[in-house]
Each structure stands twice: as structure tokens, then as C-alpha cells.
Chain A
Amino acid sequence: MMFLPPADYLKRTKPFSFLSESELKEIISGLESEIYSKGETIFKKGGKPLEYVYFLKSGVVELQGNGTVENLTEKDVFGVASALTGNPPRFTARAKKDSVCYLIKRENFLNVFNSNHKFSEFFTRLMERRLVSFFKLSRKNSDNLDKLCAVPISELISRKPVVCSPDASILDVAEIMNKNNVGSVVVVDGGRAVGIFTQRDLTKLVASHTPLDEKVSKHMSAPVIELDESSTVMEAYLIMVTNAINHLVVVNNGEVKGVISTKDLLLKLESSSSLLCLSRKILRADVNELKNVIENVKRSIEDMVSRGTEFFELARISAGIQDLTVKRVLELAENKFATPTYCWLQTGDLGRGETVLPLKQSSLIVFEGDEKQIIEFAETVCSTLDRIGISDSPFSAKQWCFSLEEWSEIIRRLFCDPERHILEISTIMDSRFLKGSKEVYLQWQDILSRSVTKKAVSAMMRAALNGYDSAEEYTVPVSHLLMGVKALTLEAGIFDVKNTKERCENLLKMKLIPEGLGRDILEAYSVMNEIALRNQIGYPIGKIEEILLKESAKIVSQFQNFLRARL
């Protein structure tokens, strides 16, 4: 095609960049350009069905619908729904500044819409608010990790599982391994996997002169982590990284179908595989090694961010690795200090398992007994974590280390004036047990859950409504969604679920939130976090991100209206 500026412009602009040369020609052969003066109406809500799809070339256009106002800027496309359906437009479009639009004749647009799947998905996903998949679609060459997410693990199993009974002797099992040429055997009792025995276990037993006629059940790793064969490779990966394990047993309705090892995954995952090795290193590393490992972890996570791994998956990986690291540092410190009975909780973002980067501490300690010892212990752990690359924060166990009695008093005071202490309350509510005495944790949790008053919940809801009411603003605070979802969950008496995704799913299950809204919230929450994360590692906020943030902003204000109606 001869060089025609609008053709060249569209070719470089999503979603027109998805079009083939002939499809682009089809668009051009229905293309016009019109100029609108400031204040001029382009089309009216409820008017004639649109004959054109509009592409804003320059200026600002305002869309006014049912109580909503949205400002469009360069490269925004509008009027698609009316042109597609032949229904009257659902909003009025007016030029807010002098504006120039490309107009694409409906027939030409439809022809391309019907012939190019990616092009049509771009619009339908946005209209159906499948924001996360829209974001994925809009990025260049979605990578192989994306595709892997969808591969069921059953595809990784290449042969029948090798099993033995718990009563088999170690020697029997060694023979089974040798005969079948495998590195691991699943120990099965009554059809169910009860443990796993690997070559490594065998080596250890031989080296320690353990009699080989002892039962395998005495030396197997148990319990095993099972995964349904319909689970995805991504799911297996997440479990292996966050639990730092080497083998997973794949089952179907409880029946053992096979074993997959990190090696199987390594072959599939290439560069994201480094986290598999790194997470296992953490289990035995000393402080210096940890520093090295964490540095590599950061790099691997950044790599996964730029390759477009979804937010909730990334968060799970990152939180899982931070958990392993904190546990290891606690272990190392416990050897040095005579600690009283205590428990360590991950709190805030980390408690919810929703932090990715930077790696930052968010924790608290509850203890019984000697104060001096535990405070020194907490300080050592926090500064060690800081030194290895998980930076200290105002909300770390260094500051938040109290006995049960003290906590009881602190919690009482916080909840006396929830409006004022909303940040602290909201953070503490997200605490999750990591290590130490479960009993102390349960007592603490009990004190906390008994303190949650109606007043506190409505203070949280009001916080979710604060300071945000404009759909124009691009920097939508994710915290409004977070706070609102948290408030609804606490109101429903759910205290043990911390993760926003899981909280949302619970609310949906209990029908405490309309289904459409609940799904939209999750999409918005995930996509806003993902954009922030990508921005943090250097990706600019482009047109696509702008569209998504705007769409998310609409969801936030819908959610706020929903909360407002409940207050």
C-alpha cells in the first residue's frame, strides 16, 4: 500500500496492529476523518444506532451514560457496542476540546471484527471486563509461561506410577527402583498415597548403616502433597516453589496416577525454573548464602513480571519464598537465643500473600514469658532479614513484639477508636501464622476476632469510600478494593481467610456480593497490581495501561456505590 499516514498510524496502534495488510485495507476503505469543535455533540444516547466506530485521533471526548462520565483521549475507540449490536448508543459523546476522530464505517469494522479473532477479543474482553486476559492479549508475543499455565500436569507424566506398600522393606523398594529404573517410589496404602521414598532417602539410609529390612513407612517422606491431574503445570510449579519440595504425587479422585519431579518441570519451564532450585537452597542456607539467594530470587521474579505472569501467581511465589526465608532465619536465630514460647505472624500484604516486589518485612510476634530475650531475638531476626535483602519496615516484628497480655491491651485500645487506627487494625487483621507456637497464635486470634465490632467494620467500609470518586484519575488506589473486601469478609464473620482473591471467592460463595461485581473486583485488583508492578520495574504506563486503569476505576466506583448502599 502507498504510504498513507492514517494507515501507517493505525498499523502502529492496538488493536489495529493485530490486523493483516488486507484487513487494514478493509478498514481504510471505510475510513473518514471528522473534526469536532469543543462542546459539539458527536452522537446522542438513545439516538440512531451508529453507522461508524469512532477512533479518537486528537483532543478529548467525554462519554456520558447512566450517571457515569468518562473522558477519552488519543487512541481511544468508542461507539463499538452500538455499531456491533445495531442498538442505540448507551451514552452521549461530546467533544470536550476541539477533537479529530477517525470514523470507521460499521460494515468495514464488522468485516474485520468477524475475520480477526485477536482483534475482536480485544473489544469483547474489555466489554466483558476480562481485564487480566485483555492485558495479556495486548502485550507483545505472550510468552511460553503463559501457555504453560494452561497445560495440565497429566501431560508431564510419561509412565505408570511405581508404587510399593508401606510394609515393604527398604531392600524391596531398592529392587523396585532398580527394576523400573526410577528415582522415586510412591508408598500407597489402600489405593491412597501416604508417602514418597526417593533415591536420596535410600543413599542416606545406606550411609547411616540403617538395616535394610526396616519398613519403608518408617523412612519415607510423609505426608505427600497430592495434586489432581487436571491441575496445571503452573499450579505444580507454585506448590513446589513455595513448599521447597522435589516431588509431587499426581492423583485422579485420590488414585495415584504418577509422580512429577522438579526435573520434569525444569525441562518445561526454562528460566522461571531458577526459582525451583533457589527455593530449595533456602532450606539449608546460612545468612551469607541467603543474601545471595534472595538477590537471585529478586531477579527471577522481575523476569517473571516482565514476561507477564499473573499477579496472584507472582504474589504466591514471592510470599512463599519470603515465608521460607523468614522460617530459615528464625531457625538460625533460635539456635542462638533461648527464646520463650512465641509465634511469628506474617501480616499486612505479606499476611495476605499479596506482595511481590520489593521484598519487605511485615510481621509481628506474640509471646509468653521473658520479654528481654524475645526482643533481642526479634531485633536480630529483623536486621538479619534486612541485611539479606528483605528490608525492614515500620510494620515489622521489631516494633510489633508483645506478650499476649500486652496484645490484648493494644487490641482493645485500637478498637476503641477504629476510625483513627484503621491502618493498624486493617494490617493486623491480615496476620497469618508462620512459625512457633500454634497455641499462642490461636489465643491471639481469639482475642482479635472477639474485638471486631460493627463500628470497626463500618470504619473500614468508610475507609474504602474515602478520597476517591473521580473516574478520571488514573492512579486508582488498590487499597479501596482491598479495604472494602476485607470489611465485607469480617462482617460475614470470616476471620481465617486473608487473601483478597480467596476473600472475594468466599463472599461470592456466600452470595454476599453480586456475582458480576465480585468477578470484576478480582479482575481490577489483579490488573491494577500487575500494572503497578510492571511500572515499578520500568515499564511505562501506556495507552493500554491507561485503558485498563480507567476500566478498573469504574469498577472501584461501582464497588463503592455497593458499599455505600450497605452503610
Chain B
Amino acid sequence: MSELLTARYSVIDLEATGLNPKKDEMVALAIIPMVGTRILIKDYFFTPVKPKKLKANSIKYHGIDFNALKNAPEFCTIAEKIKTFLDGTIIVGYSTDFDVQILKNHFSKSKLRLDLKYIDVAQIEKWIMRKNSIGVIHLSLDDLIKKYDLELAYRHNALADAYYTARIFQYQLKKLLDFGVNKLTDLLSIGQMENPLYW
């Protein structure tokens, strides 16, 4: 059986106080586990996270209610739990680079080391488009959701975004298998950013 079908994945999406992964902090995290093409909706994980510096105006980035955040757990108190979720899995997301940077920062502040392997559905889509000799264009998450005919209108939030990313990845896995991609190393190189963002 293809390695892609037995591998465990964590489809993630997070919300942050801003757009700078060095400075900004996580305020919500959603994880949807997958084994091969099977999405384990039942094991979904979602939590708001209380940032160290709680700025009232950052609501414009994440849309999460100030009061909800005041009562949310701090990252250090749930870091272990999140680590168990992510350990041994490949992280899947949209703009995963940013999410992983933020995660790494938070883990290192909690004195936890985690080797995070990750891939990006936008990159995988570009690879598939190239394979199909289609002109490669940048696709937003909304574009991808439309392309896979998943939903017409939905509410943006970490959990919904993670879920739709999982649905997109489910389709993509099928296509990759059709193209004969069976090794995880191949998947990882297909799903990496060509030009990772350096902050």
C-alpha cells in the first residue's frame, strides 16, 4: 500500500493577533486528524488560546471575541496536548509556513521541541496543475474550496477552514496517487513552498 494512504496527517488552521509570525501570537487553533484519505472528524480539536498581550483591536485579524479570549487557556497549559496531537504526523494547511512558524515560536517558549514536517495544499494544487499542463496561478483557500465544489458560502473560522483544507487534501491525495506518487518524501517535496517566506 502507498505510504500516502497509511500516513497520519494533522490538518491545521490557526488565528493570530496579526500577520507577523515573529511577533504575533496565536489566538485559536484547529486540528483535524487524517489517516490516509480518511478524515477523522470525530477527533477534531479546537481551542481558543489566550495571548500574552491581549490587544482589543486585533479582533480585526481573527474575529474572535475579546471576552472569549480572556477566559481561554494559555498556550503553555495546552502545549503538551497539542504536541501529542501533532507528534508523528505531517502537518497540512493553507499557507502552512506562517502557521508552523507561529507554532514553533509558541512551542519553544513552552520549552518543547517538536520536529514539524509540513505541506501546503496550495503548493500541491500547483504541482497538480503543472502535471495536468494547466497554467499555474495562485489560488486562495476560497478559490480551492470553489474549485473542489465544497461549499458556496461559509463562515471563516479556524475550524471550518481546517475542515475544508482537509476536504481539499482528501481530493488531492487521490490525484497524487493517480499520478503514481507513493512515497512520503515525494509528497513532502511536492507540498513545500518553493520560496519559503523569511521573516
Contact = CB atoms under 8 A, between A and B. Distances in A.
Q: Report if A and B associate in a common complex.
A: yes
A34 B40 CA distance: 9
Contact of B159 (A2, A32, A33, A37): A2
Given A28-B42, A29-B42, A100-B170, A34 B163 contact: no
B167 A30 contact: no
B163 A32 contact: no
Interface stretch (B15-23, B103-111, B150-158, B182-190): B150-158
A104 to B, nearest CB: 9
B136 interface: no
Given A4-B160, A98-B174, A35 B42 contact: no
Contacts of A4: 41, 44, 159-160, 163
Interface residues of B, number: 23
Nearest to B46: A2
B4 interface: no
Which 10 residue pairs spanning A and B have beta carbons closest together? A33-B39, A31-B41, A35-B170, A35-B37, A31-B42, A5-B163, A2-B46, A29-B42, A2-B159, A34-B38
Interface of B: 37-42, 44, 46, 149, 151, 154-155, 157, 159-160, 163-164, 166-167, 170-171, 173-174
Given A3-B160, A58-B149, A33 B167 contact: yes
A5 B151 contact: yes
Contacts of B149: 58
Interface string A26-70: 001111111101000000000000000000001000000000000
A6 interface: yes
Contacts, number: 51
Contact of B42 (A2, A5, A105): A105
B194 to A, nearest CB: 27
Interface of A: 2-6, 28-35, 37, 58, 98, 100, 102, 105
B157 A30 contact: no
Given A29-B42, A33-B170, 7 more contacts: A2-B159, A3-B157, A5-B163, A28-B41, A30-B42, A31-B42, A32-B38
Most buried by B among A3, A5, A37: A5
Given A35-B171, A58-B149, A5 B160 contact: yes
A34 B42 CA distance: 13
16 contacts: A2-B46, A2-B159, A4-B160, A5-B151, A5-B154, A5-B160, A5-B163, A29-B42, A32-B41, A33-B170, A34-B38, A35-B170, A35-B171, A98-B174, A100-B167, A105-B42
Given A35-B170, A35-B174, A6 B163 contact: yes
A390 B195 CA distance: 76
Contacts of A35: 37, 170-171, 173-174
B42 A32 contact: yes
A281 to B, nearest CB: 51
A3 B41 contact: no
Nearest to B173: A35
